[in-house]
A and B are shown apart, each in its own frame.
Chain A
Amino acid sequence: MTAVAVETEVGRTTRPTPARIPMSRIIGVELRKSFDTRSGFWLLASVGILAVLATAATILFAPDDAITYDSFGAAIGIPMAIILPMIAILSVTSEWSQRTGLTSFTLVPHRGRIIRAKLTVALGVGIVSMLLAFGIGALGNLLGAAIVGVDPVWDIVGGDFAGLILFQILNMLIGFMLGVLFRNSAGAIVGYFVYGFVLGTITSVLAATQEWFEKAQPWVDFNYAQGALTDASSMTGENWAQLAVTGLFWLVIPLAIGLWSVLRSEVK
């Protein structure tokens, strides 16, 4: 995608050819666009708010022996698994649902660049949110331990952090994939809940009742394979292989189809 300035015979006006819009600027604009509406702002703010609420709930309701960093991490992880993918979904679908794409895609006539910028912003927001969540969880752990009068238990170790972040990043990528596939906010959000929760329930019922499926599940069920990441330090090579195989079918291939259709579809 190189734009070479070709001298043409038509140039009546002798303006200099402007420089190509740099990728950093497109990323900056996309970042701004995720903050500058009330809904966008509160969606991002809710990352912090829900992390605090989940931490408070853990302190209030968890039994004393469960005041560990892992409990806080697990409690915060649940709202994150819903909010972060929403951020990823809406960053894509609002261009179609709010029809802002008419402006965005004419100011930058290469949809791939905008989509890459959106993905960069979404992943950046995801990682920052997770770090923030770990911080809030750590404060909760200190506070909770002080309240019940025990020594704080730090039972999330090195690789586990990366595993949990990767877990949420995959959720965001699923959201992003549904966004480019549906290009409609409501459709993609419903799709995410079906994908994450309805499908997960069906497969666990199936695994509980059908022996053949229980054996096959780790190799066909992405949710299940992804679940191993919540305890990343004990993941085996086989677990990683299962994650890769299921991820290919449930994430990479549909994402590729979605991106292909985004680049070719009509923006109205």
Chain B
Amino acid sequence: MIKVESLTKKYGGFTAVDDVSFTAQPGRVTGFLGPNGAGKSTTMRIMVGLTPASSGHAEIAGRRYADLPNPGLEVGVLLDASAQHAGRTGREILTIAAQTMGLPKGRVDAMLERVSLTPTEANRRVRNYSLGMRQRLGIATALLGDPAVLILDEPANGLDPAGIRWMRDLLRGYADQGGTVLLSSHLLHEIEVIADDLVVIGQGRIVAGGTKAELLAAAGTLVRTRDLPTLSRALVAADLHFVESTGALRVEADPDVVGEVALAAGVALTELRSADGAGLEEMFLELTAETQRDQKSEGVAA
């Protein structure tokens, strides 16, 4: 269980995190979604005490992070897989973490196996690791203390499709056993396939939140036809709201309603389906576009 309440972080005049509140529930994977520079990483760093908040606070299992007596046993954290001493071997990095948490030696080998790093790879220095191997090592470090809460910043970065699949299964299994998983991503599709709940952040502010089902359900119907003008007129006549997006219409109604309107108007459809996530995607693209404009005009650091 992670509870974030009114977190704000200001750097001079720039507000990186602006009154962010959300909860990540046990037994669920919570996706923390936002474009690059939206404040995801800063929020996560504040949660684990690496960055002091300007105001607000975060709690994990009912306590401030700094009050956890041995955090590694309660919260698995992966903020940046590349933030490791390049001269240490993968096994050594896990050994240091295990020693800090007070875990038996055998735990390191078990974790290496769990993330599919071979003994040869584990004995290689991290400077020779691919990003995907670093992510696996980072996930192994996070899982080491068998914590009930996972906080992962962009864990799928650098993983190949098989690796992403592996991580999805791993996190799913973790949540199904009652664990709390919070993972961030700037890729909607990546998070759509794994998260139960979504928290969407843009320019430091929460712009949407809820279960994935809720957020996707709000999207309406996507309909495609070669005769857009006729269908548009019919929809207007039927008093249905819609927006046009790249050769298709997104209608705020159920697919059967739209189908009947099209049939009555005698329009042949090429596609008719529930617009899963289309609304979310539009919102997300808008956020991304805004951030990019801001970066160009004001030069705000990501």
Contact = CB atoms under 8 A, between A and B. Distances in A.
B34 interface: no
Contact of A37 (B61, B85, B100, B101): B85
A51 B80 CA distance: 40
Contacts of A236: none
A8 B63 contact: yes
Nearest to B9: A266
Given A20-B70, A21-B70, A99-B83, A106 B178 contact: no
A266 B86 CA distance: 22
Nearest to B146: A15
A87 to B, nearest CB: 15
A209 interface: no
Contacts of B84: 98-100, 103
Contact of A109 (B66, B80, B92): B66
B100 A109 contact: no
Interface residues of B, number: 43
Interface stretch (B42-50, B111-119, B193-201, B228-236): B42-50
A103 B141 contact: yes
Interface in B138-156: 141, 148
Interface in B1-40: 1, 3, 26
Nearest to B86: A98
A40 B70 CA distance: 27
Given A98-B85, A100-B84, A106-B48, A10 B100 contact: no
Interface in B174-205: 178
Contacts of A108: 71, 100
Most buried by A among B50, B93, B99: B50
A266 B83 contact: no
B97 A107 contact: yes
B144 to A, nearest CB: 10
Given A3-B67, A20-B69, A102-B50, A10 B1 contact: yes
B101 to A, nearest CB: 7
A10 B73 CA distance: 17
Contacts, number: 117
Given A100-B84, A105-B50, A29 B69 contact: no
B61 A100 contact: no
Nearest to B65: A109
B61 A32 contact: no
Contacts of A12: 1, 26, 178
A10 B62 contact: yes
Contacts of B88: 36-37
A108 B99 CA distance: 12
Contact of A25 (B45, B82, B99, B148): B99
Contacts of A6: 62-63
Given A12-B26, A13-B148, A99-B84, A3 B99 contact: no
B45 A267 contact: yes
Contacts of B92: 36
A15 B180 CA distance: 14
A107 B72 contact: yes
A25 B102 contact: yes
Given A11-B61, A12-B178, A99-B84, A18 B73 contact: yes
A100 B85 contact: yes
Interface string A88-101: 00000010001111
B142 to A, nearest CB: 10
B266 interface: no
Given A102-B80, A103-B83, A32 B96 contact: yes
Contacts of B26: 12-13
B70 A18 contact: yes
A28 interface: yes
Contact of B71 (A94, A98, A106): A106
A109 B174 CA distance: 24
B87 A37 contact: yes
A19 B70 contact: yes
A9 interface: yes
Nearest to A39: B87
B68 interface: yes
A102 B153 CA distance: 12
A21 B85 CA distance: 23
Given A36-B92, A94-B85, A264 B52 contact: yes
Contacts of B83: 98-103
Given A10-B61, A107-B72, A107-B100, 17 more contacts: A3-B67, A6-B62, A13-B148, A18-B70, A20-B70, A21-B69, A25-B99, A25-B100, A36-B92, A36-B96, A100-B85, A102-B80, A103-B141, A107-B71, A107-B101, A108-B71, A268-B45
What 9 A-B pairs are tightest by C-beta distance, nearest first?
A: A8-B62, A99-B83, A37-B87, A20-B69, A10-B62, A18-B70, A102-B83, A267-B50, A98-B85
12 contacts: A3-B68, A10-B1, A12-B1, A13-B148, A25-B99, A28-B99, A37-B87, A100-B85, A102-B50, A106-B48, A109-B49, A267-B51
